[in-house]
């Protein structure tokens, strides 16, 4: 008999388990963060100031997630109400060297980063004499080193405090299950600390489910997934060339292998917001021979957060709901209404692709493609659900 294939253990994700996850735009001062926030959220914060600490409190906005499936469903049903999925984005003030020790407004900035679930890290690759660089010149690899080091130094501080508190508990000794659990947690924290002191980010470690349970309450900055955004001049974005790109690729290969990196021109994206209609925007992009980077940025962030969607449809409403991939039907029902999770009976399910292929729910039913699923059903990205639940107890 051939040997059994080894089961592939799925990597357990760090971070909060919820569906309402938040992303923060992070970077050094004056790299284009606030201008990107304005462009991506189609809202104005006034003119971004040309000096560090211009943005003190993180600004928040919800960004609509571009999805052709949602657009297709709205066109098909022409519903009275249309509710797309969205991603919450924060504009966080610029970091500076020494932020981890409180330089500038460092402690406030780092606490804001701690509160989000993932990071858009903006790296400046454009020259502009009118926009000062907090370090004096444009050097993206140095900037990447500064941010990476500041986040890691702060994580070391968090972890050392947690380890000190844990050691006070484990010194009591004993053989109870509680003490054994505390010692396991202590070992995990020591492993995290060694990794950080070795210059590595926590998100790059391989952790067991039990270790993840111990790490998540620490809210470590380097545990958060990162999407790197390389901010080019409009000219370089159009011609797809920049003298820094090769060095950035090498830096990421060494320090952040596997993390997404997306080029964009914040200058171009900001200019596009001045057009009055979407038709004008598309005409301008066509004349330049490029596409806006914003839709891809939003979709990529949802992917690194391991978020997916299911739909509820009808002539009254088409709605796209956000869930973590791997969510079971009762928990997905709970996203619609908390009582539905408690009183869940079953879900009537078919996938969007099947609806698009066959054209109507009646045809799907005729082909026997509509399924009735129970509590153990894992909702797939693109599923269309009808939830059946009992009456909630008063």
Residue 101, annotated ligand binder? no
Residue 176, annotated ligand binder? no
How would you list the strands of the sheet with 371-373, edge to edge? 81-83, 317-324, 307-312, 383-389, 344-351, 371-373
Q: What is the DSSP letter of 386?
A: E
Residue 69's φ and ψ, nearest 5 degrees, are -65, -45
Residue 218, annotated ligand binder? no
Residue 107, annotated ligand binder? no
Rounded distance between C-alpha atoms, residue 53 and residue 111, angstroms: 15
Residue 208, annotated ligand binder? no
Helix axis angle, 245-255 to 140-170, nearest 10°: 20
| Residues present in the chain in total | 394
Rounded distance between C-alpha atoms, residue 281 and residue 275, angstroms: 6
Cα→Cα distances 152→99, 108, 251, Å: 11, 16, 16
- Mapped onto helix, strand or coil, the DSSP state of residue 244 is coil
Rounded distance between C-alpha atoms, residue 245 and residue 250, angstroms: 9
Residue 378, annotated ligand binder? no
The token pair that represents 67 in the structure block: 């999805």
Please state whether 219 falls in left (phi above 0), alpha (psi between -120 and 50) or beta: left
Residue 35, annotated ligand binder? yes
- Secondary structure percentages of the chain, helix, strand, coil, to 5: 45, 20, 40
Residue 113's φ and ψ, nearest 5 degrees, are -65, -35
Residue numbers belonging to the annotated binding site for ATP: 30-35, 232
Pick out the residues of the known binding site.
30-35, 232
């Amino acid at each position: 008999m051939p040997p059994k294939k080894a089961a592939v253990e799925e990597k357990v994700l760090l971070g909060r388990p919820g569906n309402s996850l938040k992303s923060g735009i992070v970077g050094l001062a004056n790299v284009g963060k606030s201008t990107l926030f304005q462009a991506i959220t189609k809202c104005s914060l006034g003119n971004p100031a040309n000096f560090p600490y211009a943005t003190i409190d993180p600004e928040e906005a919800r960004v609509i997630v571009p999805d052709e499936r949602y657009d297709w469903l709205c066109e098909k049903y022409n519903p009275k109400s249309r509710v797309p999925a969205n991603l919450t984005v924060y504009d966080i003030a610029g970091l500076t060297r020494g932020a981890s020790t409180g330089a500038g407004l460092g402690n406030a900035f780092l606490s804001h980063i701690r509160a989000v679930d993932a990071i858009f890290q903006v790296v400046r690759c454009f020259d502009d004499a009118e926009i000062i660089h907090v370090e004096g010149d444009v050097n993206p690899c140095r900037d990447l080193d500064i941010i990476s080091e500041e986040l890691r130094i702060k994580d070391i501080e968090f972890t050392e405090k947690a380890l000190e508190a844990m050691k006070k508990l484990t010194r009591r000794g004993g053989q109870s299950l509680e003490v054994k659990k505390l010692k396991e947690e202590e070992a995990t924290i020591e492993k995290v600390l060694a990794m950080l002191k070795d210059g590595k980010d926590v998100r790059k470690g391989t952790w067991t489910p039990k270790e993840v349970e111990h790490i998540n309450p620490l809210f470590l900055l380097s545990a958060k997934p990162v999407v790197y955004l390389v901010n080019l001049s409009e000219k370089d974005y159009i011609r797809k060339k920049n003298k820094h790109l090769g060095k950035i690729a090498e830096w990421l290969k060494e320090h952040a292998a596997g993390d997404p990196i997306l080029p964009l021109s914040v200058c171009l994206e900001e200019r596009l917001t001045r057009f009055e209609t979407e038709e004008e925007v598309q005409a301008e992009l066509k004349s330049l021979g490029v596409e806006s980077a914003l839709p891809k940025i939003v979709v990529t962030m949802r992917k690194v957060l391991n978020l997916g969607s299911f739909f509820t449809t009808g002539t009254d409403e088409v709605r796209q709901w956000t869930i973590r991939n791997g969510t079971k039907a009762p928990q997905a029902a709970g996203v619609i209404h908390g009582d539905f999770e408690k009183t869940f009976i079953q879900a009537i399910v078919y996938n969007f692709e099947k609806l698009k292929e066959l054209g109507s729910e009646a045809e799907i039913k005729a082909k026997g493609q509509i399924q009735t699923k129970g509590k153990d059903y894992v909702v797939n990205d693109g599923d269309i659900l009808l939830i059946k639940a009992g009456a909630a107890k008063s």
